[in-house]
């Protein structure tokens, strides 16, 4: 493992995606256990994407008292029902919730309902208590959740908003094998905002794969700007970015 720090962001590069997933899961599990030991409960936000496969597969094997954890996720396509194969709620059950003991609570974005009502409901749930940990990825266009460059706002006053997905983001969903073609990808989504994600006490970010290399390069070596929303991770005081050789391939010493 290689460790380099970019501003406040610690970046760890592993030999394989599997090693990345195991290490990130160990870090996240330790953070969750520590918060439970201190406060008696933990509040965690999860990303739902193929970049999280190895991490989640390793996390469900870690000893965690899930009955003291409240689970959130960070985005959902507008109009998709929870049982749709490509909904992020379906992903969360498939890769996490079906493999662990019942959490203290599970709060899911119901994006097939009235968006404004859902934004208010979910914002209230997020604001009830501090978020202890965000487990996230980085998009091919540098997005965090569905905060694509055109809509990302580092000072957004909202916790949740509705957004129109940009072309790069929608093409990533096809590249990931989530939809058969570009036209099948929904055009709008509900997403947690940048401040909602960055407000967590800790961030564990997994960004493996060659298609993430350009975004990782921009996030770490470019300016901190909404043109690459992931660049804001360099300002978080307790964030770790986990890479593999493919996603780190455009970085220099």
Q: How far apart are CA 216 and CA 168, in angstroms?
A: 15
Q: Which of 202-227 are b and which e, b meaning 16 or more Cβ less than 10 Å from the residue's Cβ?
A: bbbbbbbbebbbbbbbbbbeeebebe
pLDDT at 45: 98
Q: Please list, in sequence order, all residues whose beta carbon lies within 8 angstroms of the beta carbon of residue 196, skipping any fewer than 6 positions away.
A: 126, 131, 158, 159, 160
Find the angle CA(246)-CA(168)-CA(234) to the nearest 5 degrees.
55
Query: pLDDT tens digit string along 164-200?
Result: 998 888 888 888 888 888 888 889 999 999 999 999 9
Mean pLDDT taken over the chain: 96
Query: pLDDT tens digit string along 49-100?
Result: 999 999 999 999 999 999 999 999 999 999 998 999 999 999 999 999 999 9
Q: How far apart are CA 36 and CA 78, in angstroms?
A: 33
Question: What do you get for the CA distance between the two ends of the chain, in Å?
Answer: 15
Query: pLDDT tens digit string along 93-129?
Result: 999 999 999 999 999 999 998 999 999 999 999 999 9
What domains lie within the chain, and their CATH numbers? Answer: 2-243 (3.40.50.1360)
pLDDT at 43: 98
Mean local confidence (pLDDT), 131-142 = 97
Q: What is the DSSP string of the chain?
A: -EEEEETTEEEEE-SSHHHHHHHHHHHHHHHHHHHHHHHS-EEEEE--SGGGHHHHHHHTTS---GGGEEEEESEEETT--TTSTTSHHHHHHHHTGGGSPPPSEEE---TTS-HHHHHHHHHHHHHSS---EEEE---TTS-BTTB-TTT--TT-S-SEEEEEPPHHHHHHHHHTTSSSSGGGS-SEEEEE-HHHHHTSSEEEEE--SGGGHHHHHHHHHS-SSTTSGGGGGGG-TTEEEEE-TTTTTT---
**CB 240 within 8 Å of CB 27:** yes
Percentage of residues in the chain having pLDDT higher than 90: 88
Answer whether 0.85 is exceeded by the pTM: yes
């Amino acid at each position: 493992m290689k460790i380099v720090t970019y501003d406040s962001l610690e970046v760890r590069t592993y030999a394989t995606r599997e090693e990345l997933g195991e290490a990130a899961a160990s870090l996240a599990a330790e953070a969750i256990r520590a918060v439970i030991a201190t406060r008696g409960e933990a509040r965690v936000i999860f990303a739902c994407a193929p970049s999280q496969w190895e991490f989640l597969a390793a996390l469900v094997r870690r000893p965690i008292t899930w009955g003291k954890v409240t689970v959130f996720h960070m985005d959902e396509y507008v109009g998709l029902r929870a049982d749709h194969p490509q909904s992020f709620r379906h992903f969360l059950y498939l890769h996490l919730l079906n493999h662990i003991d019942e959490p203290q609570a599970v709060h899911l974005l119901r994006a097939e309902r009235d968006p404004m009502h859902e934004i208010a409901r979910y914002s209230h749930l997020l604001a009830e208590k501090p978020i202890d940990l965000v487990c996230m990825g980085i998009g091919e266009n540098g997005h965090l959740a569905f905060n694509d460059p055109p809509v990302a706002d580092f000072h957004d006053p909202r916790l949740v908003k509705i957004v129109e997905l940009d072309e790069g983001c929608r093409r990533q969903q096809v590249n990931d094998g989530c939809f058969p073609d570009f036209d099948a990808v929904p055009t709008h989504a509900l997403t947690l905002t940048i401040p909602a994600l960055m407000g967590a006490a800790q961030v564990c970010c997994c960004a493996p794969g060659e298609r993430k290399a350009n975004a990782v390069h921009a996030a770490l070596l470019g300016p901190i700007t909404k043109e690459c929303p992931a660049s804001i991770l360099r300002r978080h005081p307790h964030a770790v970015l986990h890479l593999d050789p493919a996603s780190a391939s455009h970085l220099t010493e």
